[in-house]
Amino acid sequence: MDEHRASTSQLIEEVRQLEADGKSEEALERLRYWAEEVPVEPDVRHQLIRLCLGSAHPGALKVAARQLSLVLLERRLAGVR
Amino acid sequence: MSLPDTQNNLLLRAQRFLPSLLMGYLLVAVLGWLWRGDPVFSGARLHPYLVLVLWAAIRYGSWEGIVTALTGVALLALRGLTANSETAFLLMATALFTGLMADANLKRTRRLRLQLARLGAEVLELREDGEVLRASNVDLLTRLEEKDTGLTVIHQVSARLLALTDPQEIVSALVQVTHEFAGAERCSFYRREGANLRLVLAHGWPNVPSEARVLRPSSEPDLLLLAAERMSVQTVRDYPMAARLEPELAPAMLRLLAVPLLHPNSNEVLGVLSIESLPFVRFNTATVQLMLAIAELGAKSLAQARQPEILAAAPTPLVETDGLLSANLFHTRLRREALARQRGAVPPFCVLWLACDNLSRLAADSQRMVIRAVELIMLVNLRPADARAQLEPEAFGVLLNDTELATAETLATDLAWQLQELIPLWVPAATELRIQLGWAGGEPDTILDRAKERSKLWTSIALAPAS
């Protein structure tokens, strides 16, 4: 778990750096990989969404939308509204 | 079985019957010897040979019965036929009568078996025909549904395009319907400028490279210029070498489809609609047909537009954000939807408004994040057919097609909860924000009146601090 959180923090830093360097396409690809290929904790989903909202790439909203759909589904399954 | 057959059949029958006959008579002889000391049962009132004859006639048929009876008569004749004449007669009569009855039954049974086999084959055939009909029925229903869906889509596209008179709104609507109904992730509209094509509006492009602003005829064939030159739809499937790779636009972004808009009277090329990115499953004949219809309707609309020179004069191509209409277009659609509802042409619709209060108090980055967060929540909760618009920098409107008021209220409640709970998680600085929500449904006049005074309908939501 700690290792997962550590690699998540690393991802967040990586994406922020790519965005700062103007490489929004690469940043989005990293986000998309994490969002779609790596199983993540619910709180990590919110971090991914936050990163997507901060991204300048127009495709970032779609990546965030998928994560939000999963968050809402998880909440519904857990019996939370 | 009991009828005269070929020699082979007779041999087979004899092979099957004679051992049984021999055994039968042997058994009777042993019984007679042990019981009466007379293996032939001479003079017996109820002769056991009768049983053998009955058995042979019923089991094998009339001929076997007769052979059994004759054998019995021959054996009785050894003891004197005169004394056993009644028995002999009984044996022959039983063989004939029972044998003929058994033959008739066997014939009937064989006939019934043949009929059953024939009926079984017919049932199998009918079952196969039934499967084929069922498959055809499903296929027909699917095609009818597709046709019906296609007609509904064409009707909606027509409603969106034909009522517009402002050329900029028409172009915006063209690109919007291409995105909404054809499912294009990236699409664009180019207007004709002599032999060139100049980009007017693009949707979903990350940027607008200079090479894509004006397309000029060159030695390399370009899908859009081909479409304009040939005045017919061109797809990358037909001309894989003609697809222009635009590395600046996005990795491996191709021109997938280009359809010209032809003036309905003069056939002059007014412009070209292009699709650069489309889900793989949507790249089919149905989408091409839909694009042809959109182009035809768009051309009709442009031909009737007032001040078409405005379109010609637009210097800078515009890139739309993902699916958000302008305020003007939103209100135009709202009025058109209300008119159509009054005529009874469309189902009931509702409108939802959303505004962020005190947004200006936040830093520019946080403001942008909040707006994006609202767009995200709307994107996840609304259907693609619901028209979303940014009415003001901090205010959004949604036209909910085919929605009753109760559904709109439920949706507004869900949106309120999500805005309240989720925005503070993503933008911690936004806890001082208030989100204003309003909705209206029912009679079109009521909706339009409320649209003018929507501020009176606000339900205010305070955002909860992130836990």
Question: What is the rounded average pLDDT of the residues B174-193?
Answer: 88
pLDDT at B206 (0 to 100): 67
Confidence class for position B462, pLDDT limits 50, 70, 90 = low
- Mutation site, B185, B188, B372, interface A, largest A CB count within 10 A: B372
Q: What is the mean pLDDT of chain B?
A: 79
Partners of residue B357 on adjacent β-strands: B434
Which chain B residues are within 8 Å of A65, Cβ to Cβ?
376, 379-380
Confidence class for position B9, pLDDT limits 50, 70, 90 = confident
Nearest Cα to Cα of residue B386 among B369, B416, B407, B367: B407
A70 has a chain B CB within 8 A of its CB: no
Least CA distance to A69: which residue of chain B? B380
The pLDDT of residue B250 is above 70: no
pLDDT at B93 (0 to 100): 93
pLDDT at B82 (0 to 100): 75
pLDDT in tens, A55-64: 777 678 878 8
Confidence class for position B135, pLDDT limits 50, 70, 90 = confident
Q: Are B426 and A50 within 8 A, CB to CB?
A: yes
Pick from A4-13, B103-112, B431-440: least confident: A4-13
By the 8 A CB rule, do A49 and A15 touch? no
Report residue B334 CA to chain centroid gap.
32
B→A interface, C-beta within 8 Å: 204-206, 250-251, 321-322, 365, 369, 372-373, 375-377, 379-380, 417-418, 422, 425-427
Distance from CA of B445 to the nearest CA of A (A): 35
Q: How many A/B residue pairs have CB atoms within 8 Å? A: 48
Question: What is the rounded average pLDDT of the residues B269-284?
Answer: 85
Question: Which residue type sits at B354?
Answer: L
Confidence class for position A79, pLDDT limits 50, 70, 90 = low
Least CA distance to B422: which residue of chain A? A46
Other C-beta atoms closer than 10 Å to the C-beta of B420 total: 15
The Cα B370–Cα B433 span in angstroms is: 9
The Cα B432–Cα B411 span in angstroms is: 24
The pLDDT of residue B168 is above 70: yes
- Axis-axis angle for helices A42-54, B364-381 (nearest 10): 120
What percent of chain B shows pLDDT beyond 70?
83
By the 8 A CB rule, do A11 and A44 touch? no
pLDDT in tens, A16-49: 788 778 777 777 777 777 666 666 666 778 888 8
- Mutation site, A50, A53, A72, interface B, largest B CB count within 10 A: A53
Q: What is the pTM of this model?
A: 0.44
Q: Are A25 and B251 within 8 A, CB to CB?
A: yes
Nearest Cα to Cα of residue B351 among B412, B282, B413: B412
B141's tokens? 């229903």
DSSP state of B38: -
By the 8 A CB rule, do A50 and B426 touch? yes
Q: Are A72 and B418 within 8 A, CB to CB?
A: yes
DSSP state of B258: E
pLDDT at B52 (0 to 100): 92
Pick from A35-44, B85-94, B228-237, B259-268: least confident: A35-44
Which chain A residues are within 8 Å of B376, Cβ to Cβ?
49, 52-53, 61, 64-65, 68
Other C-beta atoms closer than 10 Å to the C-beta of B368 total: 16
The Cα B99–Cα B103 span in angstroms is: 6
Which chain B residues are within 8 Å of A53, Cβ to Cβ?
369, 372-373, 376, 426-427
The pLDDT of residue B249 is above 60: no
Residue B223 parent element (H or E) = helix B223-230
In chain B, how long is the greatest CA-to-CA distance? Answer: 137
The Cα B72–Cα B54 span in angstroms is: 12
Question: What is the rounded average pLDDT of the residues B28-34?
Answer: 91
By the 8 A CB rule, do B425 and B447 touch? no
Which chain A residues are within 8 Å of B419, Cβ to Cβ?
none
In chain A, how long is the greatest CA-to-CA distance? Answer: 42
Question: What is the rounded average pLDDT of the residues B69-87?
Answer: 84
Burial class for B129, CB neighbours closer than 10 Å (0-12, 13-18, 19+): exposed
The pLDDT of residue B259 is above 90: yes
pLDDT in tens, B101-132: 998 998 898 888 888 888 888 888 788 778 77
Q: Please tell me whether residue B186 adopts helix, strand or coil conformation.
A: strand
Report residue B179 CA to chain centroid gap.
22
The Cα B416–Cα A71 span in angstroms is: 16
A57 has a chain B CB within 8 A of its CB: yes
Q: Are strands B269-277 and B186-193 parallel, antiparallel or unpaired?
A: antiparallel
Other C-beta atoms closer than 10 Å to the C-beta of B213 total: 14
